[in-house]
Amino acid sequence: MTTIINYNLKNDNGIRQVLVTHDGEYYVVSHSTLMSEPETFIFKCDKNGTITDWREVGGRKYATLDEVLSDMDEHLYSSEHLAFLGQV
């Protein structure tokens, strides 16, 4: 189950970040339009939203923030994302 803790953790300069808990862990879901292709990725963080590991643990290019938030199970550690990172 995913619970949104702070929907407006960051919202400026083409980056929007949301702090969530999912299955007892904390994550920042970050949507960026800074690159040529929009992307939404998931990062591990602490309970305050400070990212503790900059390795992406989920998400994908072209996904909206709400798409990822609505189905964290699909996007977190997904085979599609791991293949994107070259880990499959």
Model pLDDT for residues 73-82, shown as the tens digit of each residue: 888 876 665 5
CA distance 80 to 45: 22
Is the pLDDT at 87 greater than 80? The verdict is no
pLDDT at site 45:
97
7-54 tens-digit pLDDT:
999 999 999 999 999 999 999 999 999 988 899 999 999 999 999 999
CB-CB contact of 37 with 61 (8 Å): yes
Tell me the whole-structure pTM to 2 decimals.
Answer: 0.86
pLDDT at site 36:
84
Task: From 34, 25, 33, 26, select the one nearest 9 (Cα to Cα).
Answer: 26
φ and ψ at 68, to 5 degrees? -70, -45
**Tokens representing residue 63 in the block:** 């996904």
CB-CB contact of 20 with 1 (8 Å): no
pLDDT at site 82:
58
